[in-house]
Structure 1
Amino acid sequence: MHRIRLAALSVAAASILTAGTLSTAQAQSPDKPPADAATTVSAPARLGNGARVDSDSAAAQVERFWTPQRMRDAIPLQIPDPPAAQSREAAAPGARAGSIPPAAPAASSPAARAGLTENLTVGKVYFTKPSDGLQYQCSASAINSPSRQMVITAGHCVHEGKGGQWVRDWEFVPRYRSGKRPFGTFAATAFITFNGWVNDSNFNWDVGMVTTRPLNGRKLVDVTGGQGLSWNYSRKQNVTIFGYPSNHDDGEIQWSCDGRTHDSSRRLGIKCNFGKGSSGGPWLRQYNSSTGLGYVNGVMSTIFKNGRNESSYFGNGVKKLYDEQGSVT
């Protein structure tokens, strides 16, 4: 795994990602999003033919679909510019910060004995976009929850956004490296994200959570461990970020970046220069390099031409996503 160490860079100009096109964001009241932006939206996962992924045989179809060639050819996801003015989630006055603890893999899992040259909970996401029928890739991480089956990623890695659909053929490959799947393939069975993303492609609500199907009878967090979750914390945090940016090693090897976030006036910002394909990778506070565990306090969402990355702020809305999806099996 490659690591970048840096200090967060505060930049006054506010723009938005894709593969490099930017647009200026206008200020809005941070505490008053549209009434429906924080509403959660969920859906079952489906195969490319529209059938639900609700059985071991359907999950096996997802795994067979993702041949080594399709994985190599999958496009690091580019996303469109958002509207100029977008509301953001903020900690309400007097809101209390909270956390869910991480979980180590089960003692019987090979991951419990694996070296930490790469983070075991972090992997690649692959999916098909219904709008064009093409295959894409993002990043994600396993997260601890009552189901022990959940993944956290970016909203645009589960839903196309305004005018689009839920993605299909979705799979998570923990600790992917150069085509290898050391802990197998975990197919999605259900998605959840915010209405602010689904209806408006609002990057301030660009967070998604995914329930995966057990693989050979074993749940994801039992196999890899799962990161914790934090919400309503200060926008200035020391974090370690993981993902598969296509501008480093063609996205075939996991990268990490250490630094301190800043308040970008809309979201969380840090200059890691993680490009396309790193979307959905976790931003971890209180990361423990000896265990490989910490608390997800953001997910990779966008990149600017100057190399600055941004994440949605994790407030009560993200905790709501977790509460609604965390026990789903």
Structure 2
Amino acid sequence: MRLLRHVLLSLPTAAVVALATVGPASAQPVPAQDAGSTTASRALTDDGARIDTHRAAEDVEEYWTPERMRDAIPLTPDDSGAGRSSGTAEQPSGPPGSTPAAPPSGEVRTKITETSVAGKVFFTKPSDGKDYVCSASALNSDSKQMAITAGHCVHEGNGGDWMENWAYVPQYRNGDKPYGTFVAKQLRAFNGWIDDGDLNWDVAMVTTWPQGSDKLVDRTGGNGLSWNYSREQDITINGYPGNKDNGEVQWYCEGRTSDSDGKLALGCDFGGGSSGGPWMRVFDQSSGLGQTNGVMSTIDSAGVNRSSYFGDSVKQMFDDQGSAT
């Protein structure tokens, strides 16, 4: 497998091209306290039915045939429904904090270039009925059932609808699903994203159905969560950019981030399909685990990727969703 390593040099802030569409210039800023609150929704199929039983989850898993997974469209600037950064990025209001990562309960199958903690997300977009693909990662919590991704990979933004048929495939590789498929049970996103498509709040957390008796984090391991850290961090990013190996192989990028108008920035040139992939502090290649300190959100014309900042609001999202089963 080819490797990708990019270390960010000192780059001027460039105009952001989202892995989500820029919305109308007339959008009004959302007050920080409203933008930073969250809303949760039960997961739905594309016919509007709730995924509220194991049988319903199995139906969604069966929907994602190898052909549908292969043909799913990487979410790109023209496809998502996102807005511009219409408010102010969150500033830390307390000391940095982290939650613990967790190894899988069974055999560890980490590779230097890939980790079982990261994978692909597949979903149907309600506004056009087409199938799309993003990236995500497992996040350790009390439930052991949670994944974290970008807001625009669970909700259309700008007052749109929740994505449907949502499913997560850890360490997907050329159609192989070594850890199975984990279907969404409940989705949670920031209101700043849901209402306004504000890229400062492009983060989401998802509770998944177990695979039989196996919960997601028990099967693949799960990262910890970091918040209120400096915007300048040594970071490792994993995901499935559609402009690398057609998105069929997990790629990684590492370097030191910079502050870009309140977001984290790193020049990885990861295109559509990488949205939602984890930005990890203190990544350990031997375990494949780290501390999730961001998720892939945008790319600009210079190939610089950006993530929303993880402050107290992300920690509150984690507290609100992390024990949901």
Relative to the length of structure 2, the TM-score reads 0.93
1:48 to 46, 57, 62: 46
- Secondary structure at the aligned position of 1:119 is classed as coil
Q: Letter of the 2:154 partner, please give it.
A: V
How much has 1:72 moved relative to structure 2? 1.0
Q: Kindly tell me: are residues 21 and 41 of structure 1, through their superposed partners in 2, closer, same or farther at Cα, counting changes over 3 Å?
A: closer
Tell me, in whole angstroms, the C-alpha distance in 2 between the residues paired with 1:123 and 1:255: 10
Map Cα deviations across residues 182-217 of structure 1 (whole Å, 9 max, x no partner): 110000000111000000000000000000000011
Q: Is 1:304 the equivalent of 2:305? A: no
Aligned equivalents of 2:43, 2:2: Cα separation in 1: 33
Check whether the contact 1:9–1:262 (CA below 8 A) recurs between aligned residues: no
Query: After TM superposition, what 4+ stretches of structure 1 lie above 4 angstroms from structure 2?
Result: 19-23, 113-117
Query: Aligned AA for 1:178?
Result: N
CA–CA distance in structure 2, aligned partners of residues 139 and 147 of structure 1: 21
SS where residue 62 of structure 2 aligns?
helix
> For 1:143, which of 139, 146, 153 is the aligned residue?
139
One-letter amino acid of the structure 2 residue matched with residue 98 of structure 1: G
In structure 2, the partner of 1:202 is 198
Name which of structure 1's ranges 42-51 and 75-84 shifts more when overlaid on structure 2: 75-84
What whole-Å deviation, never above 9, does each CA across 1:136-183 have from its counterpart, x for those lacking one?
000000010000000000000000001310000000000000011111
1:7, distance to aligned residue in structure 2 (A)? 2.1
Aligned-partner Cα distance in 2 for 1:226–1:2: 25
What runs of 5+ residues in structure 1 fail to find an aligned partner? none
Q: Which residue of 1 aligns with 2:58?
A: 60
- The residue type paired with residue 10 of structure 1 is S
Q: Secondary structure at the match of 2:166?
A: strand
Matched position secondary structure for 1:250? helix
SS in 2 for 1:145: coil
**Shift, 1:325, TM fit:** 0.2
Residues 114 and 241 (structure 1 numbering): CA distance in 2 closer, same or farther, change over 3 Å?
closer
Q: Pick from 156, 160, 163 the counterpart of residue 159 of structure 2.
A: 163
Contact preservation (8 Å) 2:83, 2:157: no
Preserved CA contact (<8 Å) 2:263 2:307: yes
Q: For 1:48, give the aligned amino acid.
A: D
Is the CA contact (8 Å cut-off) linking 1:301 and 1:312 kept in structure 2? yes
User: Which stretch of structure 1 is more off in the superposition, 114-123 or 183-192?
Assistant: 114-123
Q: Deviations over 1:272-326 (max 9, x none)?
A: 0000000000000001111111100000000001010000000000000100000
Whole-Å Cα distance in 1 between the matches of residues 263 and 19 of structure 2?
19
CA pair 46-262 structure 1, distance change in 2 beyond 3 A:
same
2:19·2:297 contact (CA, 8 Å) conserved in 1? Answer: no
SS for the counterpart of 2:39 is strand
Residues 32 and 87, structure 2, Cα contact 8 Å, conserved in 1: no
Structure 2 residue runs of 5 or longer lacking an equivalent are none
Q: Does 1:250 align with 2:251?
A: no
Following superposition, the deviation at residue 113 of structure 1 comes to 5.0
CA contact (8 A) 2:20 2:75 kept: no
Alignment partners' CA distance in 1, 2:121 and 2:85:
29
Q: Secondary structure at the match of 1:287?
A: strand
1:91 matched to which residue of 2? 92
Cα pair 1:241 1:256 within 8 Å, conserved:
yes
Matched, 1:75 2:83: no
Contact 2:110 2:287 in 1 (8 A): no
CA contact (8 A) 2:257 2:266 kept: yes
Residue 10 of structure 2 corresponds to: 10
1:3 match: secondary structure: coil
Please state whether the residue corresponding to 1:17 is helix, strand or coil. Answer: strand
Q: List per-residue Cα deviations over 1:210-264 (Å, max 9, x = no partner).
A: 0000001100000000011100000000010000000100000000001000001
Residues 101-180 of structure 1 mapped to structure 2, 5 A cutoff = 101-106=100-105, 109-110=106-107, 112-113=108-109, 115-180=111-176
Aligned residue type for 1:87: T
User: How well do the aligned residues superpose, as a CA RMSD in angstroms?
Assistant: 2.1
Please give the secondary structure, in 1, of the residue aligned with 2:261: coil
CA distance in 1, matches of 2:160, 2:285: 39
Of 222, 228, 231, which residue of structure 1 is paired with 2:227?
Answer: 231
Identity of aligned residues (%): 53
Q: SS where residue 18 of structure 2 aligns?
A: coil
Taking the aligned partners of 2:19 and 2:215, their CA distance within structure 1 comes to 35
Shift, 1:11, TM fit: 3.0
Q: Give the distance between the partners of 2:111 and 2:173, measured in 1 at CA.
A: 14
Count of residues in correspondence between the two structures: 319
Matches of 2:67 and 2:14 in 1, distance apart? 38
Q: Distance in 1 between matches of 2:104 and 2:259?
A: 34
Q: What amino acid does structure 1 have at the position aligned with 2:142?
A: P
2: distance between equivalents of 1:209 and 1:85?
Answer: 22
- 1:45-104 superposed Cα distances (whole Å, 9 cap, x missing partner): 011111111111011001110111111110001234623643211212xx1100001000
- After alignment, is 81-90 or 123-132 more displaced? 81-90
- Shift in Å at residue 20 of structure 1? 9.8
Contact 1:16 1:82 survives alignment (8 Å) = no
CA distance in 2, matches of 1:283, 1:145: 18
SS of the residue 2:172 aligns to = coil
